[in-house]
Amino acid sequence: MADPKGFLTHTSRETPTRRPVDLRLSDWKEVYEDFASDTLRTQASRCMDCGIPFCHNGCPLGNLIPEWNDLVYKDRWLDGIERLHATNNFPEFTGRLCPAPCEASCVLGINQDPVTIKQVEVELIDRAFDEGWVQPVYPVFLTGKRVAVVGSGPAGLAAAQQLTRAGHTVTVFERADRIGGLLRYGIPEFKMEKRHIDRRIAQMEAEGTVFRTGVNVGVDITAEDLRATHDAIVLAGGSTIARDLPIEGRELDGIHQAMEFLPWANRVQLGDDVTDADGLPPINARGKKVIIIGGGDTGADCLGTSLRQGAESVHQLEIMPRPPAERADSTPWPTYPLMYRVSSAHEEGGERLFAVNTERFVGEDGKVTALQLHEVKFEAGRFVKVEGTDFTLGADLVLLAMGFVGPQREGLIEDLGVGLTDRGNVARDDNWAADVDGVFVAGDMGRGQSLIVWAIAEGRSCAAAVDRYLAGTSELPSPIEPTRLAQR
Ligand SMILES: Cc1cc2nc3c(=O)[nH]c(=O)nc-3n(C[C@H](O)[C@H](O)[C@H](O)COP(=O)(O)OP(=O)(O)OC[C@H]3O[C@@H](n4cnc5c(N)ncnc54)[C@H](O)[C@@H]3O)c2cc1C
Ligand code: SF4
């Protein structure tokens, strides 16, 4: 245990300060200031090393949280990163982007603020990279078995790294021009700078994983060819079909899905030649009245991106009522709390409207100019209009951020002929296997839209199942047992 009295002596939780809003709106760098290592050690000392550490159960990866809290407190960083990497291939992604279900279930959170688990995680991995401790981990022997991983998001990357280290010859196929999935082209630079992906890919390449970008499996390579040339296939193509809003006026210009908008800003930051004479990409918010439909994280990413591009105004609409300021009674400890959250983007500007529904898009000359809206209340299991609350909001750019309904069927899925669940995701059994021999599924493609931490946990578990299929047995860890497969 770090410090037996730590949680009594240091009752306040400290998290890193966000850079001043005007400064961070003028660049695209990550929003947080550096965190002093002494403060981090003090924060780590608040961990009680619980007899039953609920943080373990809260984390889909089963991260060994009390162990690395203790090691950081004792200044044993090298041992700390070894324990962190034992359960998580990519703590630099989760340490920046995870909503931290571990903190929501921290025992200290029952009557105090929880331990700053996520900050300890990110500081550990950043220090490990800085010190040169993150080196290739080579397989002890090669099995001669070939595995194709389709999709290079966190699920595909985790599966690929685990299988390469187990001695299989792994090729990752990615239809985009760069590796990373939503980490690369969905999540904005200000939430995670893309250099973090690049240095991890360099490690994976050195270990022997082969990456092939610009290859759309099911189109550029047939599923039949892929099966003929590989002993197993891992499908990790994500949940890519966005939920639409098919109401009057949807056909007007200026209405886009979030994932038609966000990748352009990331491409600019990556140095791609995609801008006009004013330095703006094809879909941008400069000088526009922006309305984002969808109050979640993707909507917040659209908000932060729009503000950095110089939007005139931004409104983010949410159909659900504003959540309570504190943990709602319906989500008691140790579940993930329903509560009002202010992300870094919300702090930067814009206005959030709750319990609001869009009735129709209004336009002129084929272009969107406004949204016709009204307030709603939830009654008998559905939203009903509150009469007399109609209003309009002017808009030049509307971004739909209402989630994803499943993977694309044309191409890969139809070509392989794998079965789907009633929710439209690729069906898999307790061994992560689809109903076509040698084909396995991990991440959002099987689970539906979820989180990075689940994608990594699924990639690791799926890799163990593929290893068993190829070698008869496996020493790879499997964080998600079959009983937890259906959980989110
Ligand atoms: C804007 C946005 C922000 C988000 N922010 C967060 C966050 O802050 N924290 C968090 O935990 N989660 C976040 N999420 C969710 C998270 O990104 C996903 O749950 C996660 O990336 C899923 O990982 P995956 O590997 O299953 O799929 P993806 O990351 O979607 O990767 C799938 C990859 O497969 C490729 N592919 C698909 N079909 C083919 C094919 N036929 N051939 C070749 N390649 C193919 C795609 O091009 C893509 O690169 C966010 C999602 C979005 C949209
Ligand atoms: S639940 Fe919280 S206090 Fe207990 S071991 Fe985990 S991080 Fe430490």
449-459 pLDDT, tens digit per residue, is: 999 999 999 99
* Mean pLDDT to the nearest integer, 195-201: 98
Same domain, 78 and 192: no
Q: Is the pLDDT of residue 467 over 70?
A: yes
- pLDDT value of position 107: 97
Same domain, 260 and 386: yes
Ligand 1 closest atom vs CA 94: 11
In a domain, 1, yes or no: no
320-334 pLDDT, tens digit per residue, is: 999 999 999 999 999
Which of the listed residues 356, 385, 401 is the one where a domain comes to its end? 401
In a domain, 117, yes or no: yes
- pLDDT value of position 484: 55
In a domain, 35, yes or no: yes
Q: Would you say the pTM of this structure is higher than 0.85? A: yes
What is the widest separation between alpha-carbon atoms in the chain? 71
Same domain, 346 and 252: yes
Residue with tokens 């068993």: 468
Could you write out the DSSP letters of every residue in 292-315? EE--SHHHHHHHHHHHHHT-SEEE
Tell me how far apart the alpha carbons of residues 210 and 146 are, in angstroms, rounded to a whole number.
11
41-82 pLDDT, tens digit per residue, is: 999 999 999 999 999 989 999 999 999 999 999 999 999 999
Q: Are 241 and 408 in contact (CB under 8 A)?
A: yes
Same domain, 250 and 396: yes
Same domain, 121 and 61: yes
Q: Is the pLDDT of residue 312 over 60?
A: yes
pLDDT-above-90 percentage for the chain:
95
Total number of domains in the chain: 3
Tell me how far apart the alpha carbons of residues 323 and 319 are, in angstroms, rounded to a whole number.
11
Query: In this structure, which residue's CA is closest to atom 48 in ligand 1?
Result: 181
Same domain, 329 and 444: no
- Angle of CA points 416, 419, 420, to nearest 5°: 120
Whose CA is closest to 150, among 36, 73, 94, 233?
233
In a domain, 107, yes or no: yes
Tell me how far apart the alpha carbons of residues 281 and 275 are, in angstroms, rounded to a whole number.
4
- Angle of CA points 230, 235, 238, to nearest 5°: 155
Query: The CATH number of the domain where 111 resides is what?
Result: 1.10.1060.10
Which of the listed residues 401, 430, 463 is the one where a domain comes to its end? 401
Residue 261 Cβ < 6 Å to ligand 1 = no
| Residue 26 exposed, middle or buried by CB count within 10 Å (0-12, 13-18, 19+) | exposed
Same domain, 196 and 337: no
Between the alpha carbon of residue 354 and those of residues 257, 348, 351, 374, the distances in Å are: 20, 18, 10, 11
Which of the listed residues 361, 377, 401 is the one where a domain comes to its end? 401
The partner residues of 378 in beta bridges, in order of sequence, read 383
User: What domain range includes position 93?
Assistant: 6-130
Query: In this structure, which residue's CA is closest to atom 8 in ligand 2?
Result: 47
Q: Is the pLDDT of residue 483 over 80?
A: no
Residues 6+ apart with CB under 8 A from 105: 54, 55, 57, 58, 333, 334, 335, 336
Same domain, 396 and 250: yes
Average pLDDT, the chain: 96
Tell me how far apart the alpha carbons of residues 372 and 362 are, in angstroms, rounded to a whole number.
7
| Single-letter residue type at 315 | H
Query: In a mutational test of the pocket of ligand 1, which residue from 96, 182, 305 has the highest number of ligand atoms less than 8 Å from its CB?
Result: 182
- pLDDT value of position 4: 86
In a domain, 316, yes or no: yes
Query: The CATH number of the domain where 175 resides is what?
Result: 3.50.50.60
Tell me how far apart the alpha carbons of residues 180 and 182 are, in angstroms, rounded to a whole number.
6
Residue 295: how many other CB atoms lie within 10 Å: 23
Same domain, 248 and 366: yes
Tokens at 96, concatenated: 């920046």
In a domain, 306, yes or no: yes
Q: How many residues does the chain have?
A: 488
CA atoms within 13 A on the CB side of 33: 12
Confidence of residue 125 (pLDDT cuts 50, 70, 90): very high
In a domain, 139, yes or no: no
Residue 301 Cβ < 6 Å to ligand 1 = yes
Residue 226 Cβ < 6 Å to ligand 2 = no
Same domain, 452 and 392: no
Q: Is the pLDDT of residue 487 over 80?
A: no
Same domain, 387 and 465: no
Same domain, 266 and 342: yes
Measured between its terminal Cα atoms, the distance across the chain in Å is 31
* Mean pLDDT to the nearest integer, 119-126: 98
